[in-house]
Amino acid sequence: MKKDNVKIMLNITCFQSDKPTGIERFALYIAQEICKINSSTQVVSSAKIVNAQHTIISRLLAFSKAVFNKYEYLIRVIWDQTWFRYVVAKYKPDILFFPIQDGMFFPPVKQIVTVHDLHYLHFDKSLPECRQEIHPLRTKLYQYRMPHILKRSAAIVAVSESTKQDIVASFNISPDKIHVIYNGYDEFRFHIIEKPQPTLDRYGLQSGKYFLFVGSILKHKNIARLFQAFAQLESGVDLVVAGVCKDTAYLEDVWSVAADLGILEARMRYLKFVPDEDLPYLYNGALAFVLPSLHEGFGVPIIEAMACGTPVITSNCSAMPEVAGDAAILVDPYSVENIASAMREVINNSQRVDSMKTAGLERAKMFRWSYSAQKLYDVCKMVSES
């Protein structure tokens, strides 16, 4: 039976309002846009969500975020399989949607889950340099839960075609069950800013005089090779790393690399977490954004940089070529020389830079949260009618 106004419940209890990660932003923006399409959408959260008329607050999870900190995810896993069942039974949605890599083992209604990437599987198996970047308990939970959750889901959302193929290969799931819905970017924040310098002054940066990396400090981000490539460049430009550290041991390792290369004090800046209002200025002032990651399920900073008119250098593997298209310089992330060559190209070839800026601005227009939410709503309707 067709339903013109399918009743959807979104579980975004992963969302934290102070320093949201990329996946948490996906949850937030999808929730807000789905609520615009369908005002009856119910949003289960541990904090009030703007523009969501029907927000169901989990006090327990709000408490666990504050008290248990890094083990909050474990409490959320247990909550999803237990008390959340009573929430679903009470509000009786047609479709239950998880915007992160979570879900219920035995969902009482049709369930749709999102998979952002599977790098935790690949790196544990085939990339020894990237082991232990995730807490071992969390990795074991993923490995045990994901096959069961995916099997019992009515549909799966993958944030890129690359991630879809990864799911098919890793879990032997029919491609027909998986729907690719791209991430978007915040159009109101990320755009060309004519005069970024006043904000850059607070960070001691000079517009057009630095390369920029934005992302969490994790081993698969390949920061050590980025440092080695940057050290090959002539002096006169800096390297700015902006991102929350999620692997202290790896951060110490890359600092050691930077110190040995002689770039730590003079030419390299680590800004840790950058406030939302300042990040667009950092993109605008950069010579180029560089993301030589070994694996990305999508790579939202690629689109954020392009929307700011900033040239992009990124890897030629996993989802990055799919997201960047022809608007970026693609490099072999395992080749220090290849990364360095791309950075020199940006410094020395102004014509190439101009064409990348133009192509990047057009490319960014393809990735809007309103597009993503409409595709998700269409999937929810299709599943509810099946």
Residue pair 185/163 in contact by the 8 Å Cβ criterion: no
Q: Is 234 exposed, middle or buried (0-12, 13-18, 19+ CB in 10 A)?
A: exposed
Q: What pLDDT score does 2 carry? A: 53
Q: What pLDDT score does 225 carry? A: 96
Q: Which two tokens stand for residue 37?
A: 């399409």
Query: Structurally, how many domains does the chain consist of?
Result: 2
Q: What pLDDT score does 1 carry? A: 44
Q: Say how many C-beta atoms besides its own lie within 10 A of residue 45's C-beta.
A: 23
Q: Is residue 239 part of a domain?
A: yes
Entry pTM: 0.91
In the chain, what are the helix, strand and coil shares in percent, each to the nearest 5? 45, 15, 35
Structural domain containing residue 277: 197-364
Q: Which residues of the chain have pLDDT under 70?
A: 1-4, 16-20, 60, 62-70, 122-139, 141
Q: What pLDDT score does 263 carry? A: 83
Q: Are residues 23 and 140 in the same domain?
A: yes
End-to-end CA distance of the chain: give it in Å, rounded. 8
Q: Any residues with CB less than 8 A from the CB of 38 and at least 6 apart, and which?
A: 5, 6, 8, 377
- The C-alpha atoms of residue 255 and residue 339 are separated, in whole angstroms, by 19
Residue pair 183/300 in contact by the 8 Å Cβ criterion: yes
- Give how far the C-alpha of residue 318 lies from the chain's centroid of Cα atoms, to the nearest Å: 14
Q: Are residues 145 and 242 in the same domain?
A: no
Q: Say how many C-beta atoms besides its own lie within 10 A of residue 73's C-beta.
A: 17
Q: Is residue 3 part of a domain?
A: no
Q: Are residues 208 and 97 in the same domain?
A: no
- The C-alpha atoms of residue 22 and residue 386 are separated, in whole angstroms, by 32
Q: Are residues 48 and 17 in the same domain?
A: yes
- The C-alpha atoms of residue 143 and residue 133 are separated, in whole angstroms, by 15
Q: What pLDDT score does 145 carry? A: 86
- The C-alpha atoms of residue 236 and residue 187 are separated, in whole angstroms, by 32
Q: Is residue 374 part of a domain?
A: yes
Q: Are residues 180 and 206 in the same domain?
A: no
Q: Are residues 212 and 80 in the same domain?
A: no
Q: What pLDDT score does 244 carry? A: 84
CATH code of the domain covering residue 58 = 3.40.50.2000
Q: Is residue 191 part of a domain?
A: no
Q: Are residues 50 and 174 in the same domain?
A: yes
Please state, rounded to an integer, the average pLDDT across all residues of the chain.
89
Q: What pLDDT score does 19 carry? A: 64
Q: Is 136 exposed, middle or buried (0-12, 13-18, 19+ CB in 10 A)?
A: exposed
